[in-house]
Chain A
Amino acid sequence: MNDVLDVALRLLIVFVVFLVAPLVVGQTEHKVMAHMQGRLGPMYAGGFHGWAQLVADGVKFAQKEDIVPAAADRRVFQLAPAVALLPYLLVLVVIPVGPGDGAVGQVVDAGIFFVLAVMGIGVLGSLMAGWASANKYSLLGGLRSAAQLLAYELPMLLAAASVAMAAGTVSLTGILDAFEWWWLPWQIIGALVFFVAGLAELQRPPFDMPVADSEIIFGAYTEYTGLRFALFLLSEYAGIVVLCGLTTVLFLGGWHGPFGADGLGWVWTLLKAAVLAFVVIWLRVTYPRLREDQLQKLAWTTLIPLALAQIALTGIVKVAIN
């Protein structure tokens, strides 16, 4: 009975975080982007500096008509948003926030493997949406998503593999237990590659070629409206949360910090993830969208060699230490 309660509580907490954290990131993006452009951003919803803007957006989305195009592949079309969103929920379960078993939804021994495999499924959602919409723009967007997934999954995996090599384990908690501060400079290249590749996988600007609105309307999501569209948006922001959490855990030492690692470890994790989320927004505001060929070139000619170099460096240092 106690076990059931424990599991239910953990799942409930993870679910609440899954619902709240993306909205916090989204609202931060509204405000940070506005101020970086000399604007104020939302100011009315909720009364105080538009804090309830995304709630209002959610209400609006819920009121909209649920449209499925006549020529669409109904089932696949309706299923796609769930396929895009749920993997991030699953990933969130295994990300450790603080030290010990109490601060993680479920310890998975093959943590990195599980996380990267499940995150890859998220892109399947855009592929399904693009194919099932019976719309040429959706199809183009879906294919671009697929090309991006192929190009960026590899450097992401290689960078994560470098950390796994350094720690000698693929378990996320195991990696954090083995973490030392000097891993930071040691794995810095891998961290950059992982972060950039993760951004590209989330289709965040400047890697938002699959949804390039000036070319293909909104890519795979062109035909979506109402709640299903909102789910796609939510999955993007949940993706930011997951990516920032993962980067924190793999490369920035998670709950390790200069002080307070005993009781306040989770604060360090949240702080690092928040800073990374800010960087994600910052990059979106600053850089224009990459062209499709530049996108592919960046992955294959820059990120993959860098990731391989990082693996080589990790291997050399590892051997030297032993």
Chain B
Amino acid sequence: MPPIPGSGLAKGLAVTLRTMTKRTVTAQYPDVQPELPPRTRGVIGLFEENCTVCMLCARECPDWCIYIDSHKETVPPAAPGGRERSRNVLDRFAIDFALCMYCGICIEVCPFDALFWSPEFEYAETDIHELTHERDKLRDWMWTVPEPPALDPGSEEPKEFAAARKTADKLRAAEEAEARQAAEARQAAEDQAAEGRAAEGRGADEDRGTEGRPGPGSDRGGQA
């Protein structure tokens, strides 16, 4: 059936009228903050404690926008007679966001999880030189990094969980051993007291202290 002449005109009017009754799509940005998806690439935040100054990020950066300065410090040996350890101390960590192309390679290559994407995006400056942001600013952005999205149901457990559980198991085992020891000690003391009451006079409080308590596991859990 051929279309009725002028039906196209009516259809056009219907489209605009229908659009008028729908909600607008305008984002009222400065008044209302946008809801950004969790993996938004806004800016790069630095978690300094995890940085070992390995320079991988600076070397992998395609446009060389990461500046890192560091110096070496020696730490006294852990055990007496041991060798002095040396460790890198971060002096400067800066990213020039005038050059950064938000490829995220630095974040991908960081082996110690010191760099993160933050959804923060309001860091415009009036001078291009001020777009080189130093470590304090990068650290501030770290606090706006959202929690990582939840894993899919049925997915493999992350390594961190296994490590943390191992530590927790060790801790619990140690606590149980301690409790058992304490219970044994109390039992022994009671026995002795009973004996003492029976013997009348011979009494010596032998309070066996708990020692050799195994410390918490040395596995690096959590962030590592």
Contacts and interface: CB of A to CB of B under 8 A. Distances in A.
Partners in one complex: yes
B16 A38 contact: no
Interface string A259-294: 000000000000000000000001101110000000
Contact of A32 (B12, B20, B24, B28): B20
Interface residues on B, range: 10 to 19
Contacts of A188: none
Nearest to A37: B19
B7 interface: no
Contact of A286 (B15, B22, B26): B15
A287 B8 CA distance: 11
Interface in A41-55: 43
Given A43-B28, A287-B9, A38 B19 contact: yes
Contacts of B19: 35-38
Contacts of A32: 20
B23 to A, nearest CB: 8
A301 to B, nearest CB: 14
Contacts of A312: none
A19 B54 CA distance: 72
B103 to A, nearest CB: 33
Interface of A is mostly: helix
A43 B9 CA distance: 31
A168 to B, nearest CB: 33
A40 interface: yes
A38 B16 CA distance: 9
Contacts of A37: 19
Interface residues of A, number: 14
A283 B25 CA distance: 22
Contact of A40 (B9, B16, B28): B28
Contact of B24 (A35, A282, A285, A286): A35
A75 interface: no
Contacts of A36: 16-17, 19-20
Contacts of B22: 38
A296 B50 CA distance: 75
Contacts of A64: none
A39 B20 contact: no
B168 to A, nearest CB: 53
B13 interface: yes
A39 B12 contact: no
B14 to A, nearest CB: 9
Nearest to B23: A38
A34 interface: yes
Contact of B25 (A38, A43, A282): A38
Contacts of A286: 12-13, 15-16
A304 to B, nearest CB: 18
Nearest to A34: B24
Contacts of B12: 286-287
A37 B16 CA distance: 7
A287 B6 CA distance: 12
A246 to B, nearest CB: 23
21 contacts: A32-B20, A35-B19, A35-B20, A36-B16, A36-B17, A37-B19, A38-B22, A38-B25, A38-B26, A39-B24, A39-B25, A39-B26, A40-B24, A40-B28, A282-B13, A282-B17, A283-B13, A286-B13, A286-B15, A286-B16, A287-B9
Interface of B: 9, 12-13, 15-17, 19-20, 22, 24-26, 28
Given A38-B22, A43-B28, A282-B13, 15 more contacts: A32-B20, A34-B24, A35-B19, A36-B19, A36-B20, A37-B19, A38-B26, A40-B24, A282-B17, A283-B13, A285-B16, A286-B13, A286-B15, A286-B16, A287-B9
